[in-house]
Amino acid sequence: MSDKGIFITGTSTGVGKTHTAVVLAKSLTSHGVKVIPRKPVESGCDFENDQLIPADATALKHAASYEGLLSDVCPYRFRQCTSPRRAAFLAQQVLTTQQLADVCRTGADQGFLLVEGAGGFYSPLSEDGLNSDLARELGLPVLLVAQDVLGAINQVLLSAEAIKNNGLELRAVILNQVKGYDMPDSVSNLEELHPLLDCAVYTQPHSDNIGDNDMPADLIDLLTK
């Protein structure tokens, strides 16, 4: 297993986790880091040419300029748009945390392992575990993504406590700014979270074009140290 890597999780589903993972993969690659992208399971996949295509994993593969197969990145794919655990159950398939961990570990010694979970840190992931169980099995430091909205502080602190209680290092928090959301002028999640956390906190400006975004150089250094 690689001694370099990150596990990307969110405070909930739909907070911009994949967007952050793609920007990070692209930024690491542009800084000369060989990225091994893994999103071992993805639900809500569409059919194309009689096969399920994982959109998030596909975006990760392209962002990392990964030369391996898409099936290396994401071998477990489901049609139903629900948690992977539920989607696997509906598809009458058995999916275990060990299976997902094995996918992440395969080839991990070839570069920087970037693993994206599915949903929030405590979201159901497999028949026998949550995202937290996969993160704990891999033992990677964690990058937590939250929407930069009113209420984010509570969500981030709860997730940070859960990550710590699982014996994992929270390396950084990304506050993903939401398109069309007007934050009250009096609110700054970034400023308020800094003294409440023992890790770095960053904001990620919204852009419809991922190519316009790049992770700060100090965050790249922090994640790859």
Catalytic center residues: 39
- CB-based contact 21:35 (threshold 8 Å): no
Could you tell me where the beta strands, DSSP code E, fall in 39-169?
41-42, 46-48, 51-53, 76-77, 112-120, 124-126, 129-130, 142-147
DSSP 123: S
- Between the two ends of the chain, the Cα-to-Cα distance in Å is 16
With CA atoms as reference, report the closest residue to 127 among 74, 64, 73, 76. Answer: 76
Tell me the Ramachandran region of residue 220: left when phi exceeds 0, alpha when psi lies from -120 to 50, beta otherwise.
alpha
The string of DSSP letters for 28-70 reads HHHTT--EEEE--EE-SPEEETTEEE-HHHHHHHHHTT--S-H
Would you give the DSSP letter of residue 139? T
Closest CA to 130 of 175, 94, 173, 83: 83
